[in-house]
Amino acid sequence: ELVDALIVRVTQTDVPPSPDYVRIMSLHKSKGLTSPVVFVAGLVDGVVPTLVSGLSEERVEAAVAEQRRLLYVALTRASEQLVLSYARSMELALANSMGVRVVRDGIRRIGGTPWAPTIPSRYLSELGPEAPKPVSGTSWLQRYGQQEAQMEVTSQ
């Protein structure tokens, strides 16, 4: 039921400009909208950018450039905080089914299932030296939780 509800939200034609709830949308749908906090998830190579095999070099370059522009739109939607996220590793079968590029010599078994480190989206390295350093999800949550606690203390 949750997956079906998410699919409906992501594919809806109209995205409310300033609702009082979380909006889930595609990168395309974010054009013209802003939010205090924006999460862009799934930034692994093979998903962002998504490349169809068999394209000419010229068409691959055009697709990469277009998807870079689309990601830029999403990155510029945040007015206060932007969170970029990707899975550092994933089940190999899932990665293969999604077209995610992985580090083949890093495959290890977890509970008998092969897992592989993913390759982050090439666009992350293009953010330049001003970009914040990556942190693990756990570290980010701890820091975010501390910021929230400080905000509660200062607002009371």
Those residues whose C-beta lies under 8 Å from the C-beta of residue 67, and which sit 6 or more positions away, are 48, 49, 50
Q: Six-digit token pair at 91? A: 């089940």
Q: Which residues does residue 120 pair with via DSSP β-bridges, in sequence order?
A: 44
Q: What is the pLDDT of residues 30-74, one digit of tens each?
A: 888 888 889 999 999 999 998 888 889 999 999 999 999 999 999
User: Which residues sit opposite 84 in a β-bridge?
Assistant: 40
pLDDT in tens, 81-135: 899 999 999 999 999 999 999 999 999 999 999 999 999 999 999 988 888 888 8
